[in-house]
């Protein structure tokens, strides 16, 4: 049984998966996926801002800009978001 996840594409719109709950913490946040029972950590408040606001932006670069992530830091954030997409924590949005 395979659950294939589409490759991460920063040009697409994303959102936090509906099965994931976010619990803010001083270091960032804990994420709990009720579907997979996976616990994840967001290690910076800035990453929490990005993930929490994904649904409000048309693509990943716009979400990073809105969270004031510098150009120098973007590769690190893109890698973190790609990892979250690979586990289904964030998912590409479809439709308008």
pLDDT digits (tens, 9 = 90+) for 55-79: 999 999 999 999 999 999 999 999 9
Enumerate the H helices of 1-96 as residue ranges.
45-53, 60-66, 74-86
pLDDT given at position 22: 95
Cα–Cα dist 18/90, whole Å: 9
Domain count of the fold of the chain: 1
Digit-coded pLDDT (tens) for 9-27:
999 999 999 999 999 999 9
- In the predicted model, is pLDDT for residue 2 greater than 50? no
Global pTM value: 0.89
| 96 belongs to a structural domain | no
| 1 belongs to a structural domain | no
28-33 sheet: strands from edge to edge: 20-25, 28-33, 38-42
- Among 63, 31, 32, 30, which Cα is nearest to 49's? 63
Cα–Cα dist 36/76, whole Å: 25
Comparison of pLDDT for 5 and 33, the residue scoring more: 33
Q: Look up the domain containing 70 and give its range.
A: 14-91
């Amino acid at each position: 049984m395979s659950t294939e996840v589409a490759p991460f594409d920063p040009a697409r719109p994303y959102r936090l998966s509906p099965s994931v709950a976010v619990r803010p913490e001083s270091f960032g946040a804990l994420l709990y996926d009720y579907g997979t029972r996976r616990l994840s950590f967001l290690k910076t408040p800035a990453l929490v801002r990005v993930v929490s606001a994904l649904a409000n932006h048309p693509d990943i670069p716009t979400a990073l800009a809105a969270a004031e992530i510098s150009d120098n830091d973007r590769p690190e954030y893109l890698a973190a978001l790609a990892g979250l997409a690979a586990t289904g924590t964030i998912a590409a949005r479809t439709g308008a």
